[in-house]
Amino acid sequence: MDKHVRIITVSALSLLGILCISSGIMYNSLQENNVEEKVLVIVEQKQVSKENDIDIKLKNLTIEVNTPLSVKIIDYLDSAVRDEVLANLKLDTSAVNVTKPGTYNYTVSYKKKTYQGIIIVKEKEIVNNTLQSITLKTVNINVGTALPTDVSNYVIEPLTDEVKTNMLINLSKVNVNIAGSYQYTITYNNSIYTGTIVVTETQPTLSTNIDESNTETEKETDTNTEIDTNKTTAQIN
C-alpha cells in the first residue's frame, strides 16, 4: 500500500515539473513575440517623426531693379531637402515688385505649412567712369551729309556702353546745308568739351572724255598746220 502511494506521488511531481517546463517555454515564446511587436512599432514611429521634422529654410535675396525673378524653387532654399519634398513645394513671389525698390516677402508652401522669405529690390548701382577726360575729333563732311548720331564718331578714346550713356552731345549749331566750320559740344563727367565740324562743298570731278576731245582737237590742228605748210612749200617751188 505504501509503495503504491509513492508511485503516485512521484508521478504527480513529474507531472508538475513537466507543466512548469512547458509554462516556461510558453512564457519565453510570448516574450519573444512581444519584443518583435515592439520593434515593429518603434520603426513605424520613426517614419512618422521624419515627416514631422521637415524644416525648410529660405534665403533672403537682394536683386537690382528690373532683374527677373527665378522660377526655380531650389534657388530660394537655404538648406537641402529630399527630392520628394522638393517636388511638392509651391513658390509664391506675386507680392514682389521688381520695378520698384523696396523690401518684399515671398513664400514657399509644403502641404499645410507656409515658410516666408525676404527679397530686397535695390536701385541699380552706377559704375564709376573709367575715363577722367575725353578728346574730341575734328569731323569733316560734305554739304548735305547727315551727321552721325553715335557719340563714338566724335571722341578719340574708345568708349564703353556705360560711358556713352553718360555723355550728352549738342550738334544744334551745325548746319550741314551750308559750307563752313561749326562747333559742337559734348558734356561728360561734369565738364563740357568743344569740337569742330567742317562742312565742305562737294568737289566736281573732271571727265576723262573732255581730255580725250581736247587731245583729238589738238591732233587735228597739228595735221591742218602740217598740210598748210606743205602747200606753201609747193607754191614756192
Domain harbouring 150, CATH code: 2.60.40.10
Instruction: Decide if 129 is inside a domain.
Output: no
Domain's final residue, options 69, 90, 122: 122
pTM over 0.75: no
Contact between residue 91 and residue 108 where contact means Cβ atoms under 8 Å apart: yes
**How much is the pLDDT for 34?**
52
Separation CA 109–CA 115 (nearest Å): 6
Instruction: Decide if 165 is inside a domain.
Output: yes
Please state, in angstroms and as integers, the Cα–Cα distance from residue 90 to each residue in 62, 84, 129, 146, following that order: 21, 13, 43, 57
pLDDT band at 194 (very low <50, low <70, confident <90, very high): very high
Q: Is residue 88 scored above 60 in pLDDT?
A: yes
Instruction: Decide if 105 is inside a domain.
Output: yes
Q: Which residue has the higher pLDDT, 70 or 231?
A: 70
* % of the chain beyond a pLDDT of 90: 52
Local structure of residue 201 (DSSP, 8 states): P
How wide is the angle at C-alpha 125 spanned by C-alphas 119 and 126, nearest 5°? 165
How wide is the angle at C-alpha 61 spanned by C-alphas 102 and 162, nearest 5°? 75
**How much is the pLDDT for 143?**
95
Separation CA 6–CA 10 (nearest Å): 6
Domain's final residue, options 11, 34, 53: 53
Instruction: Decide if 211 is inside a domain.
Output: no
Local structure of residue 66 (DSSP, 8 states): T
Show contacts of 199-207: CB within 8 Å, 24+ apart: 199/141, 199/142, 199/143, 199/145, 199/174, 199/175, 200/140, 200/141, 200/142, 200/143, 201/142, 201/143, 202/142, 202/143, 202/144
Domain tally, the chain: 3
Residues 98 and 118 in one domain: yes
Q: Which residue has the higher pLDDT, 72 or 125?
A: 72
What range defines the domain where residue 68 resides?
60-122
Q: Is residue 158 scored above 70 in pLDDT?
A: yes
Instruction: Decide if 235 is inside a domain.
Output: no
pLDDT band at 182 (very low <50, low <70, confident <90, very high): very high
Residues 49 and 68 in one domain: no
Closest CA to 195 of 150, 235, 155, 237: 155
Report the DSSP pairing between strands 180-188 and 191-200: antiparallel
Separation CA 167–CA 52 (nearest Å): 60
Q: Is 102 helix (H, G, I), strand (E, B) or coil?
A: strand
Residues 47 and 72 in one domain: no
106, burial (CB in 10 Å: exposed 0-12, middle 13-18, buried 19+): buried
Instruction: Decide if 144 is inside a domain.
Output: yes
Instruction: Decide if 37 is inside a domain.
Output: yes
pLDDT, one tens digit per residue, over 97-149 is 999 999 999 999 999 899 999 999 999 876 555 688 899 999 999 999 999 99
Instruction: Decide if 109 is inside a domain.
Output: yes
Q: Is residue 157 scored above 90 in pLDDT?
A: yes
**How much is the pLDDT for 110?**
94
**How much is the pLDDT for 125?**
76
* % of the chain beyond a pLDDT of 70: 61
